[in-house]
Chains A and B, each alone.
Chain A
Amino acid sequence: MDNTLTGMGRDYDFILKLDEAVPSSDSTGLPPVKYNLFVEPGECVFVECRDEFRSAQFADFCAGILPVKEDPATGKRRGAVSCMGLDWAELDERRANALRGRIGRITVESGWIDLYEMHLNILWPSLHHSRAPYDRLVGEAVKLCQSFGLPGLPTQLPEKLSALDRKRAEYVRAFMNNPSLLLLENPVSLTAPVELYNAFFTELTAARERGCAVIWVGAERSAWSGYLQQGMQCFRLGDNGLLK
């Protein structure tokens, strides 16, 4: 039965599948329990988690950065995390990195490289992973910048921009190059202007329309309450793993 389900899973393309997967983490971060999560293209899944570190580890687990735990006795992996039908554990480093190129992320720590200007920070993932012409990428970035309320593509160092504009740039970086999966850790704050909030939801919906799956890990339910619809999966990330 399990095999049949797995076969179906491969055939009908879940974007992200956590199948009885146990992360190799200690109890201070992501609890090492079994995780089950199936996300289809265009689906948006909300995960409530108040611990930022745990949120980050869960996103890392989905992105194959935090590996699946191995049974010390048998050496077998406990469960599997697969993205677009590819098991992270079976991919070599090169392919795993390429697969991560299809993921857009918003992290709590932003991860800006302060030595380089913002436009490079935004374009780098796309330039690294794709053969898309530079001008096309710039055009796409400018379009996203404008929809998130920036006059154009910022060309200064990240520290020179205001916190709000950095947040906008973070959205641009995440939505660049049509990602197939969005891993969003606390993507919106309720103090941000409502236009930014709306622009984020507009782009998020457009991305889902294109078939992009979304995992939204957030501390506050109220952040997505306006976007939540019937049929969307909602979880709470606690000590016992994902709870509905």
Chain B
Amino acid sequence: MLTDEIVDPAIDTTGRRWQLFQFIGPILGVILVIVTIAMVTLYTYRTMREGAITLSRNLLRSQQRYITEEVSHYLSPATGISFMASNMLTGDDQKQNVATFMTLGRSVLRDMPHVDSFYLADDQGHFWMTSRRDDDYEETTMQMEDGAPYYRHKVTDKDGRFISTDRFSAEGYDPRLRLWYKKAVERESRTPDRRLFWTAPYLHLSTRQFIVTASLAFQALDGHKIVFAINISLNQLTKFVNSLKVGKSGQAVIVDLDGHVIAGHNMADIGKPGFDAANVRLDPKTQPVFVRALDVFRVMGDGSGLVHTRGLNYVTIAAAMPLAKRSWVLLLNAPENDFANFTQVVKHQTLYFSIIIVGLALVLAAGLIYQGRRVENLQKKLGSFATERKEDNIILLKIINTTGLLDPSKEQPYLCEALADRSVARRVSIWRLLSDGNRLLCEDMFDRERNAHRLGMELTKMGHPGLFECLEDGHLIDVPNAEDDPRLQSVQRVVMRMIDTHHLVLLPILEEHHLVGAIMVEDPNQITESERVMTLVASILAVRFSQAQEEDKHTQEASPLPPSVAQQASATQSRPPMRIIEGFLLRSGEEEHHPNDLPESGLYPSVPIMVLEFSEAYSANHDAARVMLDLVSELTDKIQAIAREHKLFSVQVAGNRFIFLGSCSQTADSEGAANIADAAIGIREACLMTISQTNTRLMFRIGIDVGAVLVARLGQKRDVFNLWGEGLTMAGALAHNVPDGGQIQVSDRAYQVLQGVFLFRLRGEFFLPGSGIANSYILAGKGDIGATDKT
């Protein structure tokens, strides 16, 4: 069976898919749980956040209503008192009117600290004013004194009792030219709710108050126009606005549509010297939320919004203040966190709970996977047990079915193979104790990697006492490294070092408690699995070896005197002496018979070389062999003659092969190559003719190459010529692989030298590792050009 198959047909992949699902299923389940929890958390968070934002908007809205109301209350004296004055000061008695104005002013100033002062003017240029001076009240009348206009200040207490008086020049002052006067007169004819004129807030230089003036014009009974004005200080408003709490850290500010701040944090420095309260605007850098909210208000009007800046979401409310000055806008903002912070907390809590749930789910999934893997492993183990049992059964069946299993005269190579296969060992050997009890003879040794058997090795008790000691104990011995075990060191060196094995399992074979042999397993991988087979084989071998021992004893008894060493020595002496035979039909330098004429030893890079190989030249029948020998002799004579005729360098006989050398020189010799090709054609014709006349299966094949060979002069006299190398190997292979009998196959290199002179037929392109792709040719015959040259 192939071990490197891409698809193993024995494995059903549908089962694998199920296994994969078993593994991935729980993980998918956990992922699904995580996704569901995440989605639920997200949904809950969004819902809660929206609810919190709605709630915070409502809160802000109520806050806004409260502030609007408070501001309206703050500014309401302007409306109320102005209209009250318009009714009270219309009498035709000017003095009475002024007295009423002063009384009204003083009483209002006493009860309403944010009201700064009152003005009264008429169309004749008269001007009166009531204001505070320290803890008292000041009544100012603009009048002519000493021919010049003066402000006459009369300081009174809260009940109007005179305290002091002084004057201040009013040169150039005409109330009728003042904005509050002119705008009030312009609005006189308007509906009551639009008659009141509000100035822009401005800083009152003498009192350092940031004030706004509201003025109302009306007509007295005497037909004169009168304008009543009330100044309200905004310093108190800023204090009020700043004291407001919007959420935890929200703010409020009152601005006009141009972004001028009326009241709010920007005005915290109001009243301090050098602070220009009339020119304070929203700062886009520090108050981006208010700026954005105002922008939105300008476009969209009243309403709430959500501004994201500085990494936070702010809820905003912008509202016009109809009860105060119309162009004033109240802006409120508060970070979303102030209201929705609990949703964040809930979100985090949900996340922690989710992590705990996911962790638990993961533990469960891991448990599920672990259980699945355990079941799978158990199944695998059961499967492997079944496979092992099956393998055991197959091997046992084969062993039992072996013919002559218990007959010691019949070799049983399968026993070693079975042991090697079952134990997946590198080598297994079976040793028989000879009847003298001192020698172990290797009956069979099987190398699993090389798939090769060998036998005949002997281990003596004298040479390996430790081994015999181990075996006589009668127990299985498992030594991970035999080199380290002093008892088995010698065995490792003699037997195991051959293939460099170290792990040795030694099983003594006992018959009736007597040692009869041993099994050696080298480098096994599955020794436990192979125990059954080993025991069975040991039992079989015990029977075989005990029989063999008995037969040995019988043989020894029958011929008690073994041939002595001396006799063996004399037998050796009677053998014919060794001869060195040179198998040359045509010897190089033959005519001179002088060894110095032989070519120098060395590498000859390009030598024309031909190999002729006889096949079917052997017969076991004596008569047929005689006929064959005659035929070969005849052919050899002809070959020798042709070789001489074509002046070949040498022809050597080696078994059923003839090696022809066209020439032997360091330079490429095309003439030598041509000679050898000529000779090949001649030999082919002569051999075919001879063979065709005889009833024989003898056939020959010829291969020609031009290649490198090593030439050597051997022997004591250096007169034995020999060669070997790549060229000879190639020519030999070409001869061996000729497509059909009686043909001459030529290599690509030889073809390059011989083309044009001889006729070739291309056999094809062939690949050889190390050589690459090369053409191979069949030599057909002599070409026309060559024939012309020859003639």
Contacts and interface: CB of A to CB of B under 8 A. Distances in A.
Interface of A: 11-13, 84-86, 91, 94-99, 101-102, 119, 128-132, 135, 138-139, 142, 145-146, 149-156, 160-162, 164-165, 177-178, 180, 193-195
Contacts of B699: 194
A153 B739 contact: no
A95 B776 contact: no
B764 A98 contact: no
B390 A11 contact: yes
Contacts of B741: 193-195
B768 A97 contact: no
A84 B2 CA distance: 13
A164 B739 CA distance: 7
A86 B9 contact: yes
Nearest to B739: A164
A101 B6 CA distance: 10
Contact of A102 (B2, B6, B12): B2
A142 B769 contact: yes
A11 B393 contact: yes
B390 A150 contact: no
Interface residues of B, number: 40
Contacts of A128: 6
B738 A149 contact: yes
Interface string B740-776: 1100010000000000000000011111110101101
Given A151-B766, A153-B768, A154-B766, A131 B738 contact: no
A154 B766 CA distance: 4
Contact of A151 (B394, B740, B768): B768
Given A138-B769, A151-B776, A153-B767, A165 B9 contact: no
B745 A151 contact: yes
Nearest to A128: B6
B775 to A, nearest CB: 9
A111 to B, nearest CB: 19
6 contacts: A84-B10, A95-B7, A152-B766, A153-B767, A165-B764, A194-B741
B737 interface: yes
Contact of B6 (A13, A98, A142): A98
Contacts of B388: none
A155 B773 contact: yes
B479 interface: no
B739 A98 contact: no
A156 B738 CA distance: 18
B462 interface: no
B193 interface: no
Given A96-B9, A151-B768, 13 more contacts: A11-B393, A11-B394, A86-B9, A98-B8, A131-B4, A131-B5, A131-B6, A149-B737, A150-B737, A151-B733, A151-B734, A156-B764, A165-B764
B677 to A, nearest CB: 18
Nearest to B8: A98
A131 B583 CA distance: 49
A94 B10 CA distance: 11
Given A149-B739, A151-B734, A165-B739, A129 B2 contact: yes
Contacts of A98: 5-9
Nearest to A102: B2
Q: 3 nearest interchain CB pairs?
A: A152-B766, A98-B7, A99-B9
B415 to A, nearest CB: 17
B689 interface: no
Contacts of B768: 142, 151-153
Nearest to A148: B737
A156 B775 CA distance: 10
Nearest to A101: B5
B615 interface: yes
Contacts of B738: 149
A150 B7 CA distance: 32
Interface in B389-443: 390, 393-394, 397
A43 to B, nearest CB: 13
B580 interface: no
Contacts of B773: 155
Nearest to A94: B7
Contacts of A149: 736-739
A118 to B, nearest CB: 8
B380 interface: no
B224 interface: no
Nearest to A146: B737
Interface in B84-118: none
A142 B6 CA distance: 23
B616 interface: yes
A146 B769 CA distance: 12
A151 B9 CA distance: 35
B766 A194 contact: no
A129 B4 CA distance: 9
Given A86-B10, A129-B5, A160 B764 contact: yes
Contacts of A193: 739-741
Contact of B7 (A97, A178, A194): A97
Given A98-B7, A151-B733, A177-B2, A142 B767 contact: yes
B626 to A, nearest CB: 22
B308 interface: no
Contacts of B736: 146, 149
A85 B1 CA distance: 13
A154 B765 contact: yes
B728 to A, nearest CB: 15
B374 interface: no
Given A138-B769, A193-B741, A91 B393 contact: no
Nearest to B393: A11
A119 B739 CA distance: 18
Contacts of B739: 149, 162, 164-165, 193
Contacts of B774: 152
Nearest to B747: A151
Contacts of A154: 764-767
A129 B6 contact: yes
B65 interface: no
Nearest to A13: B394
B697 interface: yes
A153 B767 CA distance: 5
A165 B776 CA distance: 12
B353 to A, nearest CB: 48
Given A151-B737, A154-B764, A195 B615 contact: yes
A194 B697 contact: yes
Nearest to A91: B9
Contacts of A129: 2, 5-7
Contacts of B4: 130-132
Nearest to A211: B1
Nearest to B774: A152
Given A12-B394, A13-B394, A145 B766 contact: yes
Contacts of A95: 7, 9, 11-13
Contacts of A177: 2
Contacts of B737: 146, 149-151
A161 B764 contact: yes
Contacts of B7: 94-95, 97-98, 101, 129
Nearest to A126: B2
Contacts of A101: 2, 5, 7
B765 A156 contact: yes
Interface in B1-45: 1-2, 4-13
Contact of A12 (B2, B10, B397, B745): B397
A138 B660 CA distance: 32
A155 B181 CA distance: 118
Given A156-B765, A164-B740, A194 B616 contact: yes
A119 B767 contact: yes
Contact of A146 (B9, B10, B733, B740): B733
A183 B350 CA distance: 70
Contacts of B13: 94-95
A154 B615 CA distance: 24
B778 to A, nearest CB: 9
Contacts of A153: 766-768
